[in-house]
Amino acid sequence: MDVLALNKFEKKLKSVKIEGFIINQGNKRIFEYVKNKKVHDKPTKVYSITKSVVSMLIGILIDKGLINNIHEPIYNYFPELIKSNESWKKEITIFHLLTMTSGLKVNNFQASKNWVKCILEQPSLHKPGSIFQYNSGDSHLLSAIIKNVSGMPTAVFAEKKLFSPLGVNKYLWVKDPQGIHGGGFSISLNLEDMMKIGTLLLNKGNYSSNQLISSNWIEQSASTYNHVETAPSGIYGYGYQLWTFESFHTENPMDYYYANGLFGQNIFVVPKLEMVAVTKSQLQNDNQSLPRQFFEEFLQGLDGLR
């Protein structure tokens, strides 16, 4: 993209009040728009990007052998499920939580006094693995498992094994009434720390020559297990707490995957281009998808991609 095209792109971002949009290719910053220094530096809520961080922590536990198998039933961690008269609940595995296929009814558990209890008490509407249902309850159960297995609060485990090695030290992470860090929507991060997480994903778990997560886990996480939406340009799907995009373009397909949060928070990873883009927004309703739309237009506008 030439300077004129980049200026046009920036004007487009400003027109819808996107607060921050930065793009790195390799180790080079190729585009940056930030509304002000506060947007750049201050940690703000990234909502469901929390889910992607939680998935990484599960991967670390798998790598260390502290979780033997993602296909093990979650009643190993929530023994109350063994007594349930709903047989499907006994079939729910960690894999089902990661891929949003637990089959549990989606509910507003954050209004309850005990989030985990409320989630587990929801009825099983579908056989585990059969239906994709976006459910923050699945993600919160993953956080509870992390606390159980690691023997420390999820945020403390994250700090030791992920955040400190990445140099992420300005984060905030809200807890539920029982002291379990929210697995679905509770982390606050700044733009540069979002970029560090994206870079870790791009480099398949490696950061500054330190393998924090196995490349195998990152590859599994960014694979599509459920097709969610078909668009003219490709198919949107879901991996392990990450969204995926598979392009229909036959000559030069530009597949990517991304962490996505409410109101337009995103970490986009394009392996083919060695590119990471992160966005901060406070967009409402249908406008929340604009950062993704603009990023796809950015990709289409790059030289050699047409």
As a whole number of angstroms, the distance between CA 99 and CA 35 comes to 35
The whole-number pLDDT of residue 204 equals: 98
Q: Report CA 11 to chain centroid distance, whole Å.
A: 28
Strand partners, 267: 259, 278
Residue 145: predicted pLDDT = 98
Average pLDDT, the chain: 95
pTM exceeds cut of 0.75 = yes
In this predicted structure, what is the pLDDT of residue 1? 60
Cα atoms found within 13 Å of the Cα of residue 52, Cβ hemisphere only: 27
Measured from the Cβ of residue 292, the count of other Cβ atoms closer than 10 Å reads 20
pLDDT at position 306 is 42
Classify residue 28 by burial, with Cβ atoms within 10 Å: 0-12, 13-18, 19+.
exposed
Q: For 245-276, how does the pLDDT look when each residue is reduced to its tens digit (9 = 90+)?
A: 999 887 778 899 999 999 999 999 999 999 99
- Quick one: pLDDT at residue 300? 84
Q: How many Cα neighbours within 13 Å face the side chain of 87?
A: 1
- Rounding to the nearest 10 degrees, give the CA dihedral for residues 4, 7, 13, 17: -150
Task: Give residue 91's identity as a one-letter amino acid code.
Answer: E
What ranges in 16-167 are assigned the alpha helix state H? 37-41, 49-63, 94-98, 115-120, 136-150, 154-158, 164-166
CA-CA-CA-CA torsion sign (40, 44, 47, 52):
positive
pLDDT in tens, 223-244: 999 999 999 989 999 999 999 9
pLDDT at 304: 47
Q: What percent of the chain stands above pLDDT 70? A: 98
Positions of the chain with pLDDT lower than 70, given as ranges: 1, 303-306
